[in-house]
Chains A and B, each alone.
Chain A
Amino acid sequence: MHELSIAMSIVDMAQEEAQQRGVHITAVHLSLGLLSGVVKDALLSSYDMACDGTPLAGSRLVINEVPVEVYCPSCRAPRTLSSVQWFCCPDCGTATSEVIHGKELEVTALEVEA
């Protein structure tokens, strides 16, 4: 369970941004890859805890889950995996471990009030 420390990093990061820009944050948008090692539900409940007593208290965490996209050497194209238990091209079945997307853990946008 490392979601609380991740949530605290998100809050710190957002707060720093808010201070620099002189705005009040109402929501934080996050890209969360399925291979990031972070569990969405645990992160959501940790976020509220991490916000407690900070200027971000009451703000929302909006999570955009990013599926795993791999490069298929046979199709020579990116392909989206249907399961993280099966790293092969969904079209031709070629095994591949070249991950293009899915490891994201990134704050992408802030909803703010001036």
Chain B
Amino acid sequence: MSTEPRLLEVRKNVLKQNDMVARALRQRFRDAGTFVVSLVSSPGAGKTTFLEKTLTLLRPNHNVAALVGDLATDNDAARLARSQAPVKQITTGTLCHLEAAMVQNALEGWLTGKLDFLFIENVGNLVCPSSYDLGEDLRLVLMSTTEGEDKPLKYPTIFNSSDVAVITKIDLADAVEFDEATARANIQAVRPGMDVLKISAKSGAGMEEWLRFLAARQLRQGTTA
């Protein structure tokens, strides 16, 4: 018996399990005519306020629901529930991101009717969520004017794994001397051609444009049944 080490070639994607679940979710959402949007950002960039406003504006004409990932509290779920849309909390404990299986489990036996839009709010973190496909159709990365212009350069991977950048809290732009041109240049440096929206969930500025953008993407996907 030889004890000489040998090299065995294998080719295995470490995230294969997550990717398989995500693929199945994507198919399931598509079959059900549900357009799925996930949101990532650093803590405090305004995901929850933006989402609460979005749910409130969409709810009169669409069936909408939200899943929200949080390390420990259900504060965000409580805030989102004010929109009257169905909201479910995914408590991740010490885990810094959502995985496809968590979304799958949360959906189990939850909603029965047809859903036009499902929003998934990830845990506030600009690093870990980038590796995990959740089966979403559109991934938004939010950055607030108060965080400065260089977030894209510091976290190129999350910007690269996202489809749209949303600049939030534009009502505070002047107060914090936010340089929009620099922010846009930084976004384009790490993800050329990326769509950029700017909004203030507080004043409502940019929200209509966002909803038009969302409707166009949903139409392009062909999930309007």
Contact = CB atoms under 8 A, between A and B. Distances in A.
A109 B192 contact: no
Interface residues of A, number: 37
A110 B10 contact: yes
B14 A105 contact: yes
A107 B14 contact: yes
B131 A23 contact: no
B211 to A, nearest CB: 26
Contacts of A76: none
Contacts of B130: 37
Given A37-B130, A38-B131, A85-B153, A106 B6 contact: no
B12 interface: yes
B9 A85 contact: no
Contact of B17 (A9, A38, A88): A9
Interface in B87-103: 95-97
B157 to A, nearest CB: 5
A26 B6 CA distance: 9
Interface in A86-114: 86-88, 95-97, 99, 105-114
B187 to A, nearest CB: 11
Given A35-B161, A105-B131, A110-B7, 19 more contacts: A2-B128, A6-B15, A13-B12, A17-B8, A17-B12, A21-B8, A30-B14, A35-B160, A37-B128, A37-B158, A38-B131, A84-B160, A99-B160, A105-B14, A105-B15, A107-B12, A109-B8, A109-B9, A113-B5
26 contacts: A6-B14, A6-B15, A9-B17, A13-B14, A17-B8, A29-B7, A35-B160, A37-B158, A84-B160, A85-B189, A85-B190, A88-B189, A95-B188, A97-B192, A99-B160, A105-B14, A105-B15, A106-B13, A107-B10, A107-B12, A108-B9, A108-B10, A111-B7, A113-B6, A114-B1, A114-B3
